[in-house]
């Protein structure tokens, strides 16, 4: 578990009071957390609404409307990187990861953690066109659910599917959070005949 609030001394954008665009966490981890929990501990602020976006819905719309971009987003392995706390973590996977049946398995999208990577000029241009479409859609209000969490309110969401963000705010907004491994969550669901 961790807690966080606005702190300009931290390099991590999560500790700012600026808007955080929709993203998934731990794109730099080979096994990104499956579930994320966010609990509001204190809210004496204006703004700071939590933002949720169904990444699978975006992926499906891109698949239907922008077939070339969909191919790019499912085949280009994007490197995520984290440097700090005595570690350097890196992982690579496509923004839209498909399983062996070509169904959506994971959304892995975080412009804050994206590391430089090299492709041919054509592939680079195709990638930036495709990621622009994805990012633009994720930031349109029609795809977003927004809610200002009050103390005691908890969000639990699938980090492999749902992107999260935060509106800009002023004042005090203190949150606590934790991750649950996707494998453990899937196991629990199987044991209880949920999936």
Provide the number of structural domains found in the chain. 1
CA distance linking residue 25 with residue 32, whole number of Å:
7
What pLDDT score was predicted for residue 12? Answer: 61
Is residue 159 in a domain?
A: yes
Is residue 124 in a domain?
A: yes
Is residue 1 in a domain?
A: no
CA 172 to chain centre: 23
Is residue 3 in a domain?
A: no
CA distance linking residue 61 with residue 48, whole number of Å:
28
What pLDDT score was predicted for residue 1? Answer: 85
What pLDDT score was predicted for residue 17? Answer: 85
What pLDDT score was predicted for residue 10? Answer: 57
Which residue range is the domain that position 90 belongs to?
Answer: 16-191
Residue 191 and residue 17 in contact, taking contact as beta carbons nearer than 8 Å: no
What pLDDT score was predicted for residue 7? Answer: 62
Is residue 40 in a domain?
A: yes
Is residue 72 in a domain?
A: yes
Interval 19-33: pLDDT, tens: 999 999 999 999 999
Contacts of 124 (CB under 8 A, 6+ apart): none
What pLDDT score was predicted for residue 176? Answer: 96
Instruction: Give every residue of the chain whose pLDDT is below 70, as ranges.
Output: 7-15
Q: The domain that contains 52 carries what CATH number?
A: 3.60.130.10
CA distance linking residue 7 with residue 151, whole number of Å:
19
């Amino acid at each position: 578990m961790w807690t966080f609030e606005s702190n300009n001394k931290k390099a991590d954008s999560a500790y700012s009071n600026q808007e955080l665009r929709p993203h998934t966490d731990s794109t730099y981890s080979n096994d990104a957390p499956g579930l994320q929990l966010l609990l509001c501990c204190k809210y004496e602020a204006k703004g700071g609404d939590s933002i949720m976006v169904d990444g699978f819905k975006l992926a499906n719309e891109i698949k239907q409307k922008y077939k070339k971009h969909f191919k790019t987003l499912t085949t280009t392995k994007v490197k995520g990187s984290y440097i700090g706390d005595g570690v350097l973590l890196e992982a690579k996977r496509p923004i839209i990861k498909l399983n062996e049946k070509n169904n959506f398995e994971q959304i892995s999208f975080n412009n804050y953690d994206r590391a430089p990577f090299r492709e041919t000029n054509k592939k680079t241009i195709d990638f930036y066109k495709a990621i622009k479409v994805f990012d633009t859609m994720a930031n349109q209000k029609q795809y977003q659910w927004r809610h200002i969490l009050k103390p005691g309110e908890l969000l639990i969401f699938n980090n492999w599917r749902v992107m999260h963000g935060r509106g800009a705010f002023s004042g005090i907004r203190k949150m606590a959070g934790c991750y649950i491994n996707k494998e453990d969550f899937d196991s629990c669901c199987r044991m209880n005949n949920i999936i």
